Amino acid sequence: MRRVTAERPPVEMVGNCVVVRHFSPADATRLHEAILESVEHLAPWMPWAGLEPVDLADREKLVADWCELWQAGKDFNFGVFENGRLVGGCGLHRRIGPGGLEIGYWTRAGDTGRGIAREAVRCLVTGAFSMSNIAILEVHHDVANIASGRIPERLGFTFVEEREDGAVAPAEIGVERVWRLHRRDWDAVGPRS
């Protein structure tokens, strides 16, 4: 198996139907439009969506901050593109300690239910495990967000636990479900659909 020794994931990963690419400053307007179009869809589950709408200048600053975090190797945010159109976002976040990353994802309103998030997460897993210092990936979601939980389950993550964490978005009940994937398991069975 080919191993890449890297401190950051690839800038771009190509799946079967999407391209997962590091956000650049040129993407701020597309991100802005996608989020504003999707606020009602995202706000029940994403605490940051409750702060919408923000203006384009704030969105440009957010993307610039993401670029700085990327360069520092601290956080990795990606756009999910289908035929050049932004259909979602995802990220690899250093929230679970050394050797691990937490995966987050969202899909644009009107593009849910088509496997976009699952394909994006599959790309993220492959990209994260190309990093020499990453051995564990996790997905965390509120237990009420059933759709979000289908993704790690279908990709071979193992359910670890449910724990109280407090509701931070309107539809949450405050119980977090944690899924985990070890590099050795991904290497042994490869990506699932």
Instruction: Please give the tally of structural domains in the chain.
Output: 1
Q: What is the pLDDT of residue 135?
A: 96
Name the more confident of 120 and 169.
120
Over range 141-150, report the average pLDDT.
96
Instruction: Print the domain residue range for 42.
Output: 12-189
Is the confidence at residue 192, as pLDDT, over 90? Answer: no
Task: Kindly state whether residue 6 falls inside one of the protein's structural domains.
Answer: no
Task: Kindly state whether residue 185 falls inside one of the protein's structural domains.
Answer: yes
**Cβ 79 vs Cβ 89: under 8 Å:** yes
Report the candidate in 126, 140, 131, 146 with the shortest Cα–Cα distance to residue 180: 140
Task: Kindly state whether residue 4 falls inside one of the protein's structural domains.
Answer: no
pLDDT band for position 2 (50/70/90)? Answer: very low
Over range 132-145, report the average pLDDT.
96
Instruction: Tell whether pTM > 0.85.
Output: yes
pLDDT band for position 4 (50/70/90)? Answer: very low
Task: Kindly state whether residue 2 falls inside one of the protein's structural domains.
Answer: no
Task: Kindly state whether residue 40 falls inside one of the protein's structural domains.
Answer: yes
**Cβ 143 vs Cβ 152: under 8 Å:** no
Is the confidence at residue 189, as pLDDT, over 70? Answer: no
For CA atoms 160, 107, 76, 189, the dihedral sign is positive
Over range 2-23, report the average pLDDT.
85
Mean pLDDT computed over every residue of the chain: 93
Strand partners, 60: none
Task: Kindly state whether residue 62 falls inside one of the protein's structural domains.
Answer: yes
CATH at 74? 3.40.630.30
Task: Kindly state whether residue 3 falls inside one of the protein's structural domains.
Answer: no
Task: Kindly state whether residue 153 falls inside one of the protein's structural domains.
Answer: yes
Segment 46-79, tens digit of pLDDT: 999 989 999 999 999 999 999 999 999 999 999 9
Is the confidence at residue 5, as pLDDT, over 80? Answer: no
Q: What is the pLDDT of residue 139?
A: 98
